[in-house]
Structure 1
Amino acid sequence: MEGEQARRVGRLLGEAGVTVLCGGGGGVMAAVAEGASSAGGLVVGVRPDNDRGAVCAGLSAVLFTNMGEARNAILVESADAVIIIGGSWGTLSELALARHRRGIPVISLGGWQLLDADGNPLEATVSAIDPADAVSRALATG
Structure 2
Amino acid sequence: MIAVCGASDARADERRVATEVGTLLVGRGAVIVCGGVGGVMAAVAGAVRRAGGTCVGLLPGADAADANADVTIALPTGLGEMRNALIARCCDGMIAVGGGYGTLSEIGFALRIGKPVVTLGSWDVHRPGDTGTDPAPHPAGTAADAVDWIMQRVLAR
Q: TM-score, normalised by structure 1?
A: 0.91
- CA displacement at 1:55 relative to structure 2: 1.4
Gaps of 5+ in 2: 1-12
Structure 2 partner of 1:137:
149
Residue 126 in structure 1 maps to residue 138 in structure 2:
yes
How much does 1:50 deviate?
1.8
Which residue in the other structure is 2:23 paired with?
11
- What amino acid sits opposite 1:106 in the alignment? V
Q: 1:56 aligns with which of 55, 60, 68?
A: 68
Matched residue, 1:47: 59
For residue 107 of structure 2, the aligned residue among 86, 95, 98 is 95
Closer/same/farther in 2, CA of residues 76 and 123 from structure 1, 3 Å limit: closer
**Does the 8 Å CA contact 1:14/1:37 hold for their aligned counterparts?**
no
Matched, 1:109 2:133: no
User: Partner residue of 1:27?
Assistant: 39
Higher relative contact order (CA 8 A, sep 6+): 2
**TM-score, normalising length from structure 2?**
0.82
Taking every aligned residue pair, what percent have the same amino acid on both sides?
40
Write the letter of the residue equivalent to 1:94: E
Alpha-carbon shift at residue 117 of structure 1 (Å): 6.3
